[in-house]
Amino acid sequence: MLAAAMPPLLMPLLGEISAHDLEMAETLIGVARFALIFVAARVLAEVLVRLQLPTILGELLAGVLIGASGLHLLVPPETQVELSNGVISLVSGLVNVPPDAVPEIYNESFPSLEAVAELGLYALLFLTGLESELEELIAVGAQAFTVAVAGVVLPFAFGTWGLMAIFHVDAIPAIFAGASMTATSIGITASVFGELGFLKTREGQIVIGAAVLDDILGIVILAVVVALASGGNLEIGPIVKLVAAAAVFVVAAIGLSRTAAPAFDWMIDKLKAPGEVLVASFVILALSCFTATAIGLEAALGAFAAGLILSSSKHNHAIQQAVLPIVTLFATIFFVLVGAGMDLSVINPSDPSSRTALVVAGFLFVVAVIGKIAAGWAFLSKQPTRRLVVGLGMMPRGEVGLIFLGLGTSAKLLSPSLEAAILLMVIGTTFLAPVLLRLVLGGNKPDDDDSVSDDVAAEPVGLL
């Protein structure tokens, strides 16, 4: 059985390696990988949280540090980067396995780590949908909607057009890169507004509502692009079909949040065994992912929709508390793997062949900044509103941008240079937005007139 399970390159070594040693080597590699991921991620996260920056960037940077662009301690097989000789020597020295066999054992066991990371992605998207308080989206109304639409259309259209017309990028990667610029990080923006006391102002509520709508629209676009990528064409018929399916799917999820959530609550109240909230929630998550996949959409959209369905549940807080540890563990692995797979050598300023990638990264960053800031002027208001604040609040891509990048990486839609360019755009907007918001708002205090009226939600949308 062991021989049958081994890849062909390992077959000649079976005469030298016992089944026990092979199992020990795989276990050692697996345990070491998990320990390395969590230690590196937590160290970098602690550094960034002290700089008042999102910890999720620390997880990404940890992956870059220990991955294909750094120490080569964690290298996804598809990067074709050689594993560190130190790791090979350590495993070979602790277990009776020849050094030549260690990289093959490492690569063969890597898919199990990727499966855990994928679970983290789905859990994170589920939590994002769960925190989308639909009643408050309705409350901020037309202003948030127009800001959201402008914040999606402007960077998406100009980013896609520029990549195709100026840099001659193929249609599918260009559309995906454009879609990756549509996101807005709810968590980062809300954190800065809350810290400065502007979360309940007109600007704060417009931005929070628009950010949630941005995520919905962006995830729909990405689901369509990923589905189209498998077909390899951009025919109008399939595009219309997928867009319609995605729209119906999201609308149905919003409708089910009013009808299915009470039934879910009734079921939870009847269950008595420990862990009922978590297990029942993940059943909904699995069913939603299955349904999305069955109709030709990305499972990630199903995970987000599952959160929307349960966002109206009276057990919402309990679900969040149950899911959060899973997100903390498994989403960490996802973001570290995204960083580990990045090949930043393609944007080396000293290498003439890398300058095009740097120019692309600069182009994406400029479009990402201008597109969101311009969205601050995309709505009508009878009351004075600081439109620059709205635009800056829409700027950070943060964890949502990284989710989009991870989807493109796992679907193998992007070239290494485009991956790196999107990564720099996400990092740049995430670092810059909080700084600019603090500069614009730091010396001011919200006036009573700035507060939203009673018909607008008094409590902020939940933070990711």
Q: Give me the CATH number covering residue 270.
A: 1.20.1530.20
Provide long-range contacts, Cβ within 8 A and 24+ apart, for 349-353. Answer: none
- The arithmetic mean of pLDDT across residues 225-251, rounded, is 72
Q: Classify residue 418: in a domain, yes or no.
A: yes
| 92 and 126 share one domain | no
Rounded Cα distance, 345 and 417, in Å: 9
In a shared domain, residues 90 and 140? no
Say whether both 142 and 55 belong to one domain: no
Check whether residue 233 and residue 187 sit in a common domain.
yes
Number of structural domains found in the chain:
2
Confidence of residue 454 (pLDDT cuts 50, 70, 90): very low
229 part of a folded domain = yes
Across 239-250, average pLDDT: 77
Distance CA 336, CA 339 (A): 5
Same-domain pairing of 233 and 286: yes
The one-character DSSP state at 450 is G
Dist. CA 438–CA 430, nearest whole Å = 13
Please give the model's pTM, rounded to 2 decimal places. Answer: 0.71
Q: Is pLDDT of 400 > 60?
A: yes
Same domain, 127 and 93: no
pLDDT at 456: 39
Of 107, 134, 164, the residue at which a domain comes to its end is 107
Asked if 235 contacts 243 with a C-beta cutoff of 8 angstroms, the reply is: no
**What pLDDT does 164 receive?**
93
| Inside any domain, residue 285 | yes
Domain co-membership, 87 together with 156: no
Whether residue 158 is found in the same domain as residue 101 = no
Domain for residue 122, yes or no?
yes
107, 128, 154: which is the final residue of a domain?
Answer: 107
Residues 42-70: pLDDT tens digits? 999 898 888 777 677 788 789 889 988 88
What amino acid occupies position 435? V
Domain holding 45, by residue range, is: 16-107
pLDDT at 399: 65
Q: In this structure, are 211 and 276 located in the same domain?
A: yes
Strand partners, 201: 451
Domain assignment present for 456: no
Same structural domain, 322 and 238: yes
**Banded pLDDT at 180 (limits 50, 70, 90):** confident
Rounded to whole angstroms, the Cα distance separating 227 from 218 reads 14
Per-residue confidence at 188, pLDDT binned at 50, 70, 90?
Answer: low
The reported pLDDT for the residue numbered 448 is 47
Say whether both 149 and 283 belong to one domain. yes
Domain shared by 146 and 281, yes or no: yes
Amino acid sitting at position 269: D
- Position 59 scores a pLDDT of 84
**Among 72, 88, 107, where does a domain finish?**
107
When pLDDT is averaged across residues 402-407 and rounded to a whole number, the result is 76
User: Residue 464 — pLDDT band, cuts 50, 70, 90?
Assistant: very low
pLDDT at position 38: 93
Residue 463 lies in a domain: no
Residue 381 lies in a domain: yes
Cα–Cα distance measured from residue 326 to residue 303, given in angstroms and rounded to the nearest whole number: 14
pLDDT at residue 9 greater than cutoff 50? no
Residue 236 lies in a domain: yes
Helix (H) or strand (E) holding 348: none
Which of 126-130, 267-271, 286-290 is modeled with the greatest confidence?
286-290
Tokens of 436: 């600019």
Predicted local distance difference test score (pLDDT) of residue 60: 79
pLDDT at 191 (0 to 100): 62
Q: Write b or e for each residue in 57-81: b if 16 or more Cβ atoms lie within 10 A of its Cβ, otherwise e.
A: bbbbbbbbbbbbbbbbbbbbbebeb
List the one residue out of 164, 64, 53, 125 whose CA is nearest residue 311. 125
The DSSP bridge partners found for residue 224 are none
Length of the chain: 464
The residue ranking higher by pLDDT, 139 or 400, is 400
